[in-house]
């Protein structure tokens, strides 16, 4: 009875009133709220000292939102064996029901789904890619106060053809050191697969970005830099120089956190989960 | 110099942190915040004791939002004559610029536009109709915490064909006494011109309503009643009886305020503004 079962959780949150994903003492964080709710609803097993620890695909910063966040959780067999009073549901389904009830006071976070993780699944290292959206309300349309939770308000009109032209320059496998907050022992080489801009139905400017993974504050730096380009304060040649230098520069402004939403995390087919995890662990933890 | 000039203001707000439109002592209201900002930015004229008072098209309740609210404001000629330091802009445009700056600390309210009102314009009585939207996130799609400011969360799946069928029954010129909080000296006869339901891009359920005017809490009672119908707790025959009785009944539940947004106020052509105001004043203040 000393094995563990791994579960996959699909999570959404409004980051406004959270100090980011990762647990921090005395601060309200998404991980903290979820883990506290889990401990409340999980069955207890005699002699098993267990605290639920979530491993997440995208460690979002303070103020960043998520609609398609993914995490995993290992639960000792002894606790799973205890089960819930309702036995007609699977353990995962019943845990989801109880967790949703416990979270219903916290309308800013929801766990949409809990399911048995396929063998080899690791929320962080099995992921093939992450997709983010960054939303801006510029001066093209009257300001909508209801959009202020997840839109950056910019007082000028942004030209989407300029934004899209500059975004193309940044695509591909590169050292994004110019756009990353450095982190001890981690590389800033990433593969930026998609980066384009469109206007939504309400004329909102929406940036769509997809990469194998993003380093710390990378999306916000990419968006911030491109808005500088659109405003005519940074030209394409200089943007390319900064990219090639792969070092932080004050010319690159970071866009505010609240415009950013993690939309989705993509995983390979079940039979490739373990090898994908092996591979990314090797690259990113060098 | 004792005349006044009338201005039209186009206003948007997130009602979450307001105690409704109308000024109340000690409470934060939309009217209160706007009038306080106006007094701050308007020029002063010697011997003119003036406090700006807004007249509004739709007096929204606590928690209700607006994207297309309209108000008017009369400013004494003596103050208009003082003008602003920048003279290249019209008085209205410069007032708008200064007001927007003063409001920029309050990201939940914005005055999009201030312009000279055409002759005979009255924000309340010249209006031909008001259009509202009521948004619901039902169980059709995973709950999006970012939509919680302006969506009512309903835990079942709503059938739009039932909602649309029941809405049709309510259309037309009727006594909506069953759906109105009674108010001294005012009638509950209204002309409900449009009432239909659709799903938005994100599967949100959106009710669209248009009437010459809505009596107090009428939209929320109409939506609340129809959700009871969709849930199978109220049938069409009984809904019709309640409508015909034109009296309040506990069978009609009021939907929460935060799902409701005033979208637009429609006015007739300029040459009909005064006669329209004359006409509605006669009907509604009997």
* pLDDT tens-digit map of A75-113: 999 999 999 987 788 999 999 999 999 998 768 999 999
- Pairs of CB atoms within 8 A across A/B: 58
Confidence check: pLDDT of A187 > 90: no
Active-site residue identified among A61, A138, A150, A212: A61
Chain A CB within 8 Å of residue B13 CB: yes
Q: Binning pLDDT at 50, 70 and 90, where does residue A208 land?
A: very high
A12–B108: do the CB atoms touch at under 8 Å?
no
A153–B67: do the CB atoms touch at under 8 Å?
no
Tens-place pLDDT, residues B266-283? 999 999 998 999 888 876
A146–B67: do the CB atoms touch at under 8 Å?
yes
Chain B CB within 8 Å of residue A64 CB: no
> Is A252 within a domain?
yes
> Is B227 within a domain?
yes
> Does one domain contain both A82 and A136?
no
Domain count, chain A: 2
Chain B CB within 8 Å of residue A101 CB: no
> Does one domain contain both A165 and A227?
yes
Q: Binning pLDDT at 50, 70 and 90, where does residue B1 land?
A: very low
pLDDT for residue B106: 67
At residue B281, what are phi and psi to the nearest 5 degrees? -60, -40
> Is A284 within a domain?
no
B-chain residues near A12 (CB < 8 A): 142-145
Of the three residues B97, B126, B155, the one that is the final residue of a domain is B126
A67: closest CA of chain B, how far (Å)? 7
A148–B65: do the CB atoms touch at under 8 Å?
no
> Does one domain contain both A222 and A248?
yes
B146–A261: do the CB atoms touch at under 8 Å?
yes
Closest-CA residue to B58 (of B49, B48, B50, B68): B68
Chain A CB within 8 Å of residue B149 CB: yes
Confidence check: pLDDT of B284 > 90: no
> Is A90 within a domain?
yes
Chain B CB within 8 Å of residue A51 CB: no
> Does one domain contain both A226 and A149?
yes
Chain B CB within 8 Å of residue A133 CB: no
Chain B CB within 8 Å of residue A12 CB: yes
DSSP string, chain A: ---EEEEEEEEEE-GGGSS-SS--TTS--HHHHHHHHHHHHS---TT------EEES--PPTT-EEEEEEEEEEEEHHHHHH--S--SS-HHHHHHHHHHHHHTT-TTEEEEEEEEPPTT--TTTT--EEEEEEEEE-TTS---GGGTTT-EE-SS---HHHHHHHHHHH-EEEE-GGGS---TT---EEEEEEEEEEE-TTS-EEEEEEES---TTHHHHHHHHHHHHHTTSS-HHHHHHHHHHTS--TTSPPPPGGGEEEEEEE---GGGHHHHHHHHHHHHT-
Residue of A145, A153, A198 to mutate, testing the B interface (most B Cβ within 10 Å of its Cβ): A145
Confidence check: pLDDT of B286 > 90: no
Which range of residues forms the domain containing residue A71?
A: 4-126
B14–A109: do the CB atoms touch at under 8 Å?
no
Nearest CA in chain A to B16: A146
> Is A274 within a domain?
no
Q: What secondary structure letter does DSSP report for B216?
A: T
A67–B201: do the CB atoms touch at under 8 Å?
no
Chain B CB within 8 Å of residue A67 CB: yes
> Does one domain contain both A113 and A140?
no
> Does one domain contain both B148 and B255?
yes
> Does one domain contain both A72 and A148?
no
Tens-place pLDDT, residues B178-200? 999 887 777 899 999 999 999 99
Chain A CB within 8 Å of residue B114 CB: no
A261: closest CA of chain B, how far (Å)? 10
pLDDT for residue B88: 83
Percent of chain A with pLDDT over 70: 97
Q: Hey, which bits of B200-255 come out as E strands?
A: 205-211
> Is B278 within a domain?
no
Confidence check: pLDDT of A1 > 60: no
> Is B244 within a domain?
yes
Q: Binning pLDDT at 50, 70 and 90, where does residue A2 land?
A: low
pLDDT for residue A183: 78
B143–A112: do the CB atoms touch at under 8 Å?
yes
pLDDT for residue B82: 92
CATH of the domain at B179: 3.30.70.660
| Catalytic residue list contains B61 | yes
> Does one domain contain both A142 and A234?
yes
A-chain residues near B148 (CB < 8 A): 14, 107-108
Q: Which of A107, A144, A201 faces B145 most closely, judged by CB atoms?
A: A107
Structure tokens that stand for A132 in this block: 């983010």
Of the three residues B102, B126, B150, the one that is the final residue of a domain is B126
Tens-place pLDDT, residues B207-260? 999 999 999 999 999 999 999 999 999 999 999 999 999 999 999 999 999 999
Element (H, E) at B178: none
Rounded CA gap, A31 and A6, in Å? 17
A94: closest CA of chain B, how far (Å)? 17
Percent of chain B with pLDDT over 90: 85
Chain A CB within 8 Å of residue B148 CB: yes
> Is B275 within a domain?
no
Q: Which of A14, A67, A143 faces B148 most closely, judged by CB atoms?
A: A14
Chain A CB within 8 Å of residue B185 CB: no
Tell how strand B172-175 and strand B152-153 pair up. unpaired
> Does one domain contain both B159 and B92?
no
> Does one domain contain both A231 and A172?
yes
A146–B14: do the CB atoms touch at under 8 Å?
yes
Share the mean pLDDT of chain B: 93
B280 against B168, higher pLDDT: B168
Q: Which of A12, A145, A201 faces B107 most closely, judged by CB atoms?
A: A145
A146–B144: do the CB atoms touch at under 8 Å?
no
B218: closest CA of chain A, how far (Å)? 22
User: Which ranges of B45-180 would DSSP assign to H, the alpha helix?
Assistant: 77-82, 91-103, 160-170
């Amino acid at each position: 009875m000393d094995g563990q079962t791994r579960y996959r959780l699909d999570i959404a949150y409004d980051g406004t009133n959270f100090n980011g994903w990762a647990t921090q003492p005395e601060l309200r964080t998404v991980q903290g709220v979820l883990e506290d709710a889990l401990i409340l609803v999980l069955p207890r097993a005699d002699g098993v000292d267990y605290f639920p620890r979530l491993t997440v695909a995208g460690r979002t910063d303070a103020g960043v939102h998520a609609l398609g966040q993914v995490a995993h959780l290992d639960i000792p067999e002894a606790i799973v064996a205890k089960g819930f009073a309702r036995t007609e549901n699977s353990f995962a389904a019943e845990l989801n029901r109880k967790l949703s009830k416990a979270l219903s006071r916290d309308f800013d976070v929801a766990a949409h789904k809990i399911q048995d993780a396929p063998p080899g699944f690791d929320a962080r290292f099995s992921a093939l890619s992450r997709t983010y959206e960054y939303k801006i309300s510029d001066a093209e349309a009257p300001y909508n106060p209801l959009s202020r939770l997840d839109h950056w308000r910019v007082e000028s009109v942004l030209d989407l053809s300029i934004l899209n032209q500059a975004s193309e320059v940044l695509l591909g496998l590169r050292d994004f050191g110019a756009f990353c907050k450095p982190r001890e022992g981690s590389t800033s080489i990433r593969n930026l697969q998609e980066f384009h801009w469109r206007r939504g139905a309400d004329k909102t400017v929406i940036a769509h970005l997809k990469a194998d993974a993003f380093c710390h504050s990378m999306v916000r730096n990419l968006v911030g830099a491109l808005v500088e380009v659109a405003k005519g304060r940074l030209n394409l040649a200089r943007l390319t120089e900064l990219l090639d230098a792969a070092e932080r520069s004050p010319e690159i402004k970071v866009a505010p956190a609240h415009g950013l939403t993690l939309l989705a995390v993509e995983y390979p087919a079940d039979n490739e989960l373990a090898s994908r995890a092996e591979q990314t662990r090797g690259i990113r933890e060098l």
